[in-house]
Amino acid sequence: MNEERYTMPMAATDIERMIKEAIPDAVVEIKDLAGDGDHYAATVTSAVFRGLPRVRQHQLVYDALKGNMGGVLHALALTTIVAQS
C-alpha cells in the first residue's frame, strides 16, 4: 500500500522567526500568495546584504530556513534589499 506522506505547511510567522534568528537586523515582510500556507513571497531587508551579490543574499535567507525550502516550505518568491544606514 502506497501512502503519501503529508506535511503541514509552514506558517508565515515561523518563516519570519527563522530569518530573524539568523539575520537579527532583518525586516521581514511575508505575503501568502495563494492563501494555502504553501506559497509565499518574502521581502527581507538587512544591512548584512551590503556588498554581497544577490545570489549570496538569497543563500543567506535560504540557509536561515534550515533545509525547509522545497519540503515543508513549498515555494518562496524572495526579494532582498540592502538596508540603508
Q: Is 21 helix (H, G, I), strand (E, B) or coil?
A: helix
Integer Cα distance of 38 and 30 in angstroms: 12
Tell me the range of 4-13, 52-61, 73-82 where mean pLDDT is highest.
52-61
- Tell me whether strands 39-46 and 27-32 are parallel, antiparallel or unpaired: antiparallel
pLDDT at 1: 46
- If pLDDT is split at 50, 70 and 90, which confidence band does 7 have? low
pTM comes to 0.84
Domains of the chain: 27-82 (3.30.300.90)
pLDDT in tens, 27-56: 999 999 988 777 889 999 999 999 999 999
